Amino acid sequence: MRNIFCETLIKHANDPSFVFMTGDLGYMALEPLRKAAGTRFINAGISEQNMISVSAGLASQGFLPWAYSIAPFIYARPLEQIRNDVCFHDLPVKLVGNGGGYAYGVMGSSHHAIDDYGILLTLPNMRVFIPAFDSDIPPMVERLIHLKHPAYLRLGRDEKSADFDPPPYSPWRKILNGEGPALIAVGPLAGSMLNSMKALNSNQRPSLWALTELPVTFETIPAELKADIKSSNHLIVAEEHVAHGGAGEMLARILLLNGEAPKKFTHYCAQGYVSGYYGSQSFHRTESGLTAETILKDLKK
């Protein structure tokens, strides 16, 4: 996704309000953007706190700054700068974190971001974007450019199979019909869920929805999804994020508040470091039970 993100931003780099800051990351990826943006591509050095406040200063003067790092470094170290300088002032600083969730795999826990959007969504005015497919990036960047508020873009890896052509971008998209439970997958997990679920018989097959923007409100949940939840009376949420502050909690809360809670709710999410051993993204997902195989097994019970 990072390369498409870079290509997309290059198209906007001539806009006088464009400015891109990186915390010394982007080697072998962002060089073309650096070339295109010239003096408005700034390597702020390994200093995330300063980078965020500088971005806030720029945004206060009419710039639309992008502040980039790998996902774990863009939100945790400079959290107070994000809260006080960006969010309290409702400034359009766009935080970009590459490799959300367990994406950095065996690099270790310091490089994982499994609590990123939960933490950020506690802050005022913050919006979160989690693209599911490569093709989501251009329309999402367009939305981010027009959004006059703080935002966090969590980049991952497109996990769908090559033969699937995603529907046009929307924060909610139904990508598989089924008569089973309503399954909401956040971001790229939607792709791998789709690959495993499509072969199921329709009576077992979940109706699969890709969710790519947070927070969600009851009003913006599509009527068709509400109907899917109602008819199956079972909602499943899968996300590469801890339970606290995740999309699962958020959805359960708003469905309860609005008297539309299904009888059954299952949440597949990041469980941290279950065995104390480290491995690939797939290793940590498996340890967390955050795989299509686990969900299928549970569905057959």
Partner 1 sequence: MEPLSKLLHQSQKRLLQMHFESGVGHIGCNLSCLDLLMVLHHRIMKENDQFILSKGHSAGALYITLWSLGKLKEEDLKSFHGEHTKLSGHPAPNGLKEIIFATGSLGHGFSLANGLALSKKLKKEPGRVFCLTSDGEWQEGSNWEALIFSKHQQLESLTLIVDANGLQGFGNTKEVAGMNELRKKFESFGVSVEEIDGHDLNAIEKALSANQKGPRAIIACTTKGKGVSFMENKMEWHYLSLNGDQYRQAVEDLEKS
- Window 130-149: contact mask with partner 1 (x via CB under 8 A): --------------------
Regarding 69 and contact with partner 1 (CB under 8 A), the answer is no
Among 5, 20, 41, 63, binds partner 1 (CB under 8 A): 63
* Cα diameter, the chain: 59
Helix (H) or strand (E) holding 21: strand 18-22
> How many residues bind to partner 1 according to rule CB under 8 A?
27
For residue 46, CA distances in Å to 25, 71, 124, 223 come to 9, 14, 26, 46
**Rg (Cα) of the chain, in Å, rounded?**
19
Q: Which is nearer to partner 1, 79 or 200 (CB)?
A: 79
Distance of CA 260 to the CA centre of its chain: 25
85-114 positions binding partner 1, by CB under 8 A: 85, 88-89
**What's the CA gap between 186 and 189, in Å, rounded?**
6
User: What's at 57, amino acid-wise?
Assistant: G
Among 8, 29, 32, 57, binds partner 1 (CB under 8 A): 57
Select the span of 61-69, 219-227, 248-256, 278-286 touching partner 1 (CB under 8 A).
Answer: 61-69
Regarding 22 and contact with partner 1 (CB under 8 A), the answer is no
Q: Which is nearer to partner 1, 56 or 145 (CB)?
A: 56
Q: Which is nearer to partner 1, 87 or 183 (CB)?
A: 87
Q: Which is nearer to partner 1, 22 or 288 (CB)?
A: 22
Neighbour tally for 15: CB within 10 Å: 13
In this structure, the strands spanning 151-155 and 207-211 are unpaired
Q: Which is nearer to partner 1, 93 or 208 (CB)?
A: 93
Among 4, 56, 185, 238, binds partner 1 (CB under 8 A): 56
Regarding 53 and contact with partner 1 (CB under 8 A), the answer is yes
Helix (H) or strand (E) holding 282: helix 281-288
Regarding 40 and contact with partner 1 (CB under 8 A), the answer is yes
Backbone angles phi, psi at 170, to 5 degrees: -160, 150
Strand partners for 207: 182
Under the rule (CB under 8 A), what is the footprint of partner 1? Answer: 19, 39-40, 42, 44-45, 47, 49-50, 52-63, 80-81, 84-85, 88-89
